[in-house]
Amino acid sequence: MRIDRITLTHVRIPLGEPFRISNGEVAEKDGIVVAVESDGLTGYGESSPMAGSFYSADTPESCWQQLTSSLCPAIVGREFESLDAASAWIDAQAGSNFAKVGLETALWDMEAQRQGVPLHRLLGATRDYAESGLAVGLYDSTEQLLATIAKYLPDGYKRVKIKICPGHDVELVAAVRARFGDIPLMTDANASYTLADLGVYQKLDEYGLRMYEQPLLGEALEDSARLQSQIKTPICLDESLETFAALERAAELGSFRIANIKIQRVGGFRNALAIYNRCLELGLSIWIGTMPELGIGQAQGAAMSALAGCDYPTDVEASLRWFRDDLMDPFLEVRDGRIELPSTPGLGYAINEEKLQRYFVARQVIEK
Ligand SMILES: [Mg+2]
């Protein structure tokens, strides 16, 4: 494949409700849509870090800078013998995973179109659907948290994940259990606890949760192993698993039992599949998380969730769960807890140019 032209569009879409986690809050969602043209085909990807850098150090602005000044100018005009070669080249460049992922995943869309297969089939999926779980943020009151869960549960989501932070943990889980009974439930702390909070997690052990997502700092793999050895519930790592090397180290230490793989965090499908395959070899459970992204990134997550080893529901939810609008036709929908995947070649969703204009922040075309 020869990369002929790339169009980058930075967009911003209002959220239906602010999304708050332990490190901050956003009311709008930024994304960079990456449209790559090659041999008469156009593939779409999305670079989708959180604004305000409260999940990682990356921001929409830092990714825009890297894409426009180095990554895209360096790849336009280049010829690659295969998707894998192009993907490996992107991975080897300087720059953050959140910048590279927009470019890398666009090439997968293009390759799937070229082969005439849906994206999830190119990735190796045998199912044609993804199971979806509901994720809810932090709220001012427990009543608001319960009301949000009650609002979305009728869509059949396969599990509920609530965000926790120090001081707002056991009583939230207890309230959800009291109101909704024995639903599949898990917590996500976004790295906000330390080993000194062992008692909190030992108390949470009484509530029969599916997993505890990222209790401790991303780099605190030894502490995570210590925590895991003293609690019953499996630890799931998210922020920690930025690289293949981090996965190997965490597995060796016994820091976790479940991996949340985020395509954005690891820089694209090639790295995500490498981590997925290694988790299978190690007998670890896997599921696919989201930032959440706008529709392109979410559709990619849904596609990867159809892989056989993804044995827990994804965080990919209906388009209108978080956002007032989306860039694609049709929207992602969840029925009976499932997202049916498109049978058309590539990503399988049309990108609405009128909406790219409506939510436009900046655009740049890079060609030779
Ligand atoms: Mg998480």
Residue with token string 């989306």: 326
Question: Which amino acid type is present at position 82?
Answer: S
The predicted-structure confidence for 296-339, as pLDDT tens digits, reads as follows 999 999 999 999 999 999 999 999 988 999 999 999 999 999 99
Q: What percent of the chain has pLDDT over 70?
A: 99
- What spacing in Å lies between the alpha carbon of 242 and ligand 1's midpoint? 12
| Residue 64 binned pLDDT confidence (cut-offs 50, 70, 90) | very high
**pTM, full prediction:** 0.95
Question: How many Å from the N-terminal Cα to the C-terminal Cα in the chain?
Answer: 15
CA atoms of 86 and 9, how far apart (whole Å): 22
Q: Is 203 marked active-site?
A: no
- What spacing in Å lies between the alpha carbon of 213 and ligand 1's midpoint? 6
Q: In the structure encoding, which two tokens stand for residue 141, read together?
A: 């009151």
Q: Is 163 marked active-site?
A: yes
Annotated catalytic residue within 29, 161, 262, 355: 262
Q: What is the mean pLDDT of residues 63-80?
A: 98
Q: What does DSSP assign to residue 2? A: B
Q: What domains are defined for the chain? A: 5-116+349-367 (3.30.390.10), 121-340 (3.20.20.120)
Q: Which pLDDT value is given to residue 184? A: 97
The predicted-structure confidence for 263-272, as pLDDT tens digits, reads as follows 999 999 999 9
The kind and range of the H/E element at 261 are strand 258-261
